[in-house]
């Protein structure tokens, strides 16, 4: 029996209670103080409902696109050889290392009408900065690594025997992909996309720079909470925060269920 | 004979053909993936530094050394200097308890450690405002005793601690789980004290994992925006961190100065990535060495 159980557990639980538990309980208590009518009143504000629609739609677009891009990136990183592969592998983590404010500032400058990327979109009549597309791009950027990093280990584990067996039995490459590879990597792909979705729901720093933050159009829920706090409307902020927190926790629970169902714990966030 | 070999070879070739794509597909997929990466990751990175120096090095230097910017840099460093060591101590003790002992509620503890990753940054800031703000239960007592937490430096530090809370524990728990307890037990049997065992046996075996956690924790601590933004109050020269300073400059259309401040944080991100890949490279090499040593012994 090793020593230090009481000390380490005590210290860990004390610190956890102080930093995480106490504030979290305060949020719950604050929400419980709100009467049901008030709760409904806060949550049926049309401006808030519009923000919810924008946030969920943008997060869904971003995580769908991330699913495709992440699958492609993980695929070439695991299966193919090309010069600079190590560098590419390192670069994938950039969105996690780069502060969101820097990401937001840079993306909004790049996609502005006279920006490096935005000017090519002007003739096509596509506006990115201060529109819904801008929100999607900001969310997309900040969650790129999730799908790649959950898929990579699973693709590496996939031994070639199954593909060889399928090929020797006459399956075409696309059949092998659809019938053998895709079913094997589907849970990891779903988990990666769900993590990316959760992250996008709460994203704030990157989004507010590029969104333009027009009420009813390009305002996200995080910004609504921020605005309520600025107006000292704490009950409304707590009500909305509880709702978005519940949505995130529910999704994370689903992820846990998928993970334990498939019996392995993939690489974490 | 040679005919048999070549037909075997051809069959082997066909088998490998079926487990990979034709060359043109491989090139096409790689090209698509790399151009997306260039568009979304490389160009923004180049843009930060180009825009920062767009008005020349003098403007850049002035933007960084101007008093408000300088204060923001110092506050950012201070928040990281407090929150990272705190999370190191917590991460080590939580990981020690979780990986070296069996107790009830272990899974619940791990879930709670992960909680800050599920909470959006603005909500993280909000919970501290609800706890310590002027309208909270603690509010009157705090103002009576002249303690300022929200819209002051302690609030910024607390919010930073919260969002960076899981990084080190999460890095250490799987690592220490894998290593088990046999070395520590051997050390204790040989008469070392608990602390000696920790310093001489456990710490050396987890130092790279710990370092990995520290640089990720530090990058997030210096770059946190949402949570800090809520509790800071944006008081220039007092409660502005570097990411908040960027936002203020952006809103004032001082783009060159905003990018100058952003370039510091982008530089930090690049350093983080380099150290991170060096540590990963080191880890892989150690692993290979251990595998080779094990196979030689056998």
Contact B120 A222 (CB under 8 A): yes
Contacts of A72 in chain B (CB under 8 A): 29, 32-33, 36
Q: Is the pLDDT of residue A266 over 50?
A: no
Chain B: closest CA distance from residue A157 (Å): 15
The percentage of chain B sitting over the pLDDT mark of 90, rounded to a whole number, equals: 58
Mean local confidence (pLDDT), A58-62: 97
Residue B96 confidence (pLDDT): 93
Contact B97 A12 (CB under 8 A): yes
Which residue carries 């819904």 as its tokens? A132
Residue B139 confidence (pLDDT): 86
Chain A: closest CA distance from residue B219 (Å): 6
Contacts of B246 in chain A (CB under 8 A): 101-102, 105
ipTM for the complex?
Answer: 0.87
Three-class SS string for chain A?
CCCCHHHHHHHHHHHHHHHHHHHHHHHHHHHHCCCHHHHHHHHCCHHHHHHHHHHHHHHHHHHHHHHHHHHHHHHHHHHCCCCCHHHHHHHCCHHHHCCHHHHHHHHHHHCCCCCCCHHHHCCCCCCCCCCHHHHHHHHHHHCHHHHHHHHHHHHHHCCCHHHHHHHHCCCCHHHHHHHHHHHHHHHHHHHHHHHHHHHHHHCCHHHHHHHCCCCCCCCCHHHHHHHHHHCCCHHHHHHHHHHHHHHHHHHHHHHHHHHHHCCCCCCCC
Q: Is the pLDDT of residue B2 over 50?
A: no
Mean local confidence (pLDDT), B73-92: 95
Rounded Cα gap, residues A224 and A28, in angstroms = 19
Mean local confidence (pLDDT), A75-103: 93
Chain B: closest CA distance from residue A149 (Å): 14
Instruction: Look at A174-178, B9-13, B229-233 and tell me which has the smallest mean pLDDT.
Output: B9-13
Q: Is the pLDDT of residue B180 over 90?
A: no
Residue B18 confidence (pLDDT): 59
Contact B123 A244 (CB under 8 A): yes
CB A218 within 8 A of CB A132: yes
Q: Is the pLDDT of residue A69 over 90?
A: yes
Q: Is the pLDDT of residue B17 over 70?
A: no
Tokens read off for A195 = 């993590």
| Per-residue confidence band for A264, with pLDDT thresholds at 50, 70 and 90 | low
- Nearest residue in chain B measured CA to CA from A203: B120
Residue B11 confidence (pLDDT): 46
Residue A254 confidence (pLDDT): 84
pLDDT, mean over chain A: 89
Q: Is the pLDDT of residue B163 over 50?
A: yes
Q: Is the pLDDT of residue B12 over 60?
A: no
Contacts of B41 in chain A (CB under 8 A): 91-92, 94-95, 144
pLDDT tens by residue, A159-174: 888 888 888 888 888 8
Phi then psi dihedrals of residue B72, to 5 deg: -60, -40
Q: Best interface-test mutation with A: which of B12, B18, B187, B195 has the largest number of A CBs within 10 A?
A: B18
Tokens read off for A196 = 């990316």
Give chain B as a DSSP string.
-HHHHHHHHHHHHHHHHHHS--HHHHHHHHHHHHHHHIIIIIHHHHHHHHHHTTT-HHHHHHHHHSHHHHHHHHHHHHHHHHHHHHHHHHHHHHHHHHHH---TTHHHHHHHHHHHHHS-HHHHHHHHHHHHSTTSSSHHHHHHTT---TTSHHHHHHHHHHHHTHHHHHHHHHHHHHH-SHHHHHHHHTT--HHHHIIIIIHHHHHHHHHHHHHHHHHHHHH--HHHHHHH---TTTS--HHHHHHHHHHTT-HHHHHHHHHHHHHHHHHHHHHHHHHHHHHHHHHHHHHHHHHHH-
pLDDT tens by residue, A212-231: 888 898 999 999 999 999 89
| Per-residue confidence band for B7, with pLDDT thresholds at 50, 70 and 90 | very low
| Per-residue confidence band for A143, with pLDDT thresholds at 50, 70 and 90 | very high
Q: With b meaning 16 or more CB within 10 Å and e meaning fewer, what string describes A144-160?
A: bbbbbbbbbebbeebee
Chain B: closest CA distance from residue A213 (Å): 13
The percentage of chain B sitting over the pLDDT mark of 70, rounded to a whole number, equals: 93
| Per-residue confidence band for B115, with pLDDT thresholds at 50, 70 and 90 | confident
Q: Is the pLDDT of residue B15 over 70?
A: no
Residue A265 confidence (pLDDT): 46
Collect all residues with Cβ–Cβ distance below 8 Å to B98 and sequence separation of at least 6: A12, B106, B109, B110, B173
pLDDT tens by residue, B236-271: 778 899 999 999 999 999 999 999 999 999 999 999
Q: Is the pLDDT of residue B16 over 70?
A: no
Contact A16 B90 (CB under 8 A): yes
């Amino acid at each position: 029996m090793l020593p230090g159980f009481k000390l380490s557990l005590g210290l860990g639980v004390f610190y956890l209670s102080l930093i995480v538990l106490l504030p979290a309980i305060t949020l719950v208590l604050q929400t419980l103080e709100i009467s049901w009518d008030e709760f409904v009143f806060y949550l049926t504000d049309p401006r808030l409902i519009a923000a919810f629609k924008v946030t969920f739609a943008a997060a869904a677009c971003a995580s769908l696109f991330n699913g495709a891009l992440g699958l492609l990136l993980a695929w070439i990183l695991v299966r193919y050889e090309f010069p600079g592969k190590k560098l590419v592998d390192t670069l994938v983590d950039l969105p996690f290392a780069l502060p969101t404010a820097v990401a937001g500032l840079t993306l909004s400058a790049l996609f502005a009408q006279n920006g490096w990327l935005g000017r090519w979109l002007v003739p096509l009549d596509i506006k990115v900065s201060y529109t819904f597309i801008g929100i999607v791009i900001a969310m997309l950027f900040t969650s790129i690594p999730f799908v790649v990093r959950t898929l990579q280990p699973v693709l590496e584990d996939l031994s070639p025997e199954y593909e060889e067996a399928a090929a020797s039995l006459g399956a075409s490459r696309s059949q092998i992909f659809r019938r053998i590879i895709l079913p094997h990597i589907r849970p990891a792909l779903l988990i990666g996309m769900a993590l990316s979705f959760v992250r996008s729901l709460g994203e704030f720093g990157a989004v507010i720079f590029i969104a333009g933050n027009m009420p009813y159009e390009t305002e996200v829920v995080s910004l609504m909470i921020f605005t309520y706090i600025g107006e000292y409307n704490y009950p409304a902020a707590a009500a909305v925060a509880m709702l978005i927190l519940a949505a995130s926790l529910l999704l994370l629970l689903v992820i846990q269920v998928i993970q334990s169902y498939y019996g392995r714990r993939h690489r974490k966030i | 004979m040679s005919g048999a070999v070549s037909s075997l070879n051809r069959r082997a070739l066909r088998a490998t053909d079926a487990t990979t794509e034709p060359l043109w597909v491989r090139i096409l997929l790689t090209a698509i993936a790399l151009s997306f990466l260039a568009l979304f990751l490389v160009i923004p990175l180049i843009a930060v530094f180009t825009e920062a120096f767009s008005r020349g090095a003098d403007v850049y230097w002035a933007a960084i050394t101007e008093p408000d910017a300088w204060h923001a840099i110092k506050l950012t460093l201070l928040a990281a200097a407090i929150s990272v060591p705190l999370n190191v101590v917590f991460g080590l003790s939580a990981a020690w308890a979780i990986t070296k002992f069996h107790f009830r509620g272990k899974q619940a503890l791990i879930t709670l450690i992960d909680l800050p990753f599920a909470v959006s940054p603005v909500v993280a800031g909000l919970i501290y405002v609800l706890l310590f703000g002027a309208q909270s239960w603690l509010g009157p007592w705090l103002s009576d005793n002249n303690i300022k937490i929200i819209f002051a430096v302690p609030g910024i530090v607390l919010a930073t601690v919260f969002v960076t809370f899981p990084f080190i524990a999460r890095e250490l728990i799987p690592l220490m789980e894998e290593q088990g307890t046999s070395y520590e037990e051997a050390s204790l049997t040989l008469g070392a004290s608990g602390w000696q065992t920790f310093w001489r046996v456990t710490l050396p075996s987890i130092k790279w994992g710990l370092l990995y956690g520290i640089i990720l924790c530090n990058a997030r601590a210096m770059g946190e925006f949402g949570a800090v933004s809520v509790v800071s109050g944006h008081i220039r020269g007092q409660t502005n961190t570097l990411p908040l300073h960027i936002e203020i400059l952006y809103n004032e259309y001082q783009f060159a100065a905003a990018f100058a401040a952003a370039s510091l944080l982008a530089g930090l991100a690049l350093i983080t990535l380099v150290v991170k890949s060096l540590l990963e490279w080191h880890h892989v090499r150690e692993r290979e060495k251990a595998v080779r040593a094990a196979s030689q012994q056998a």
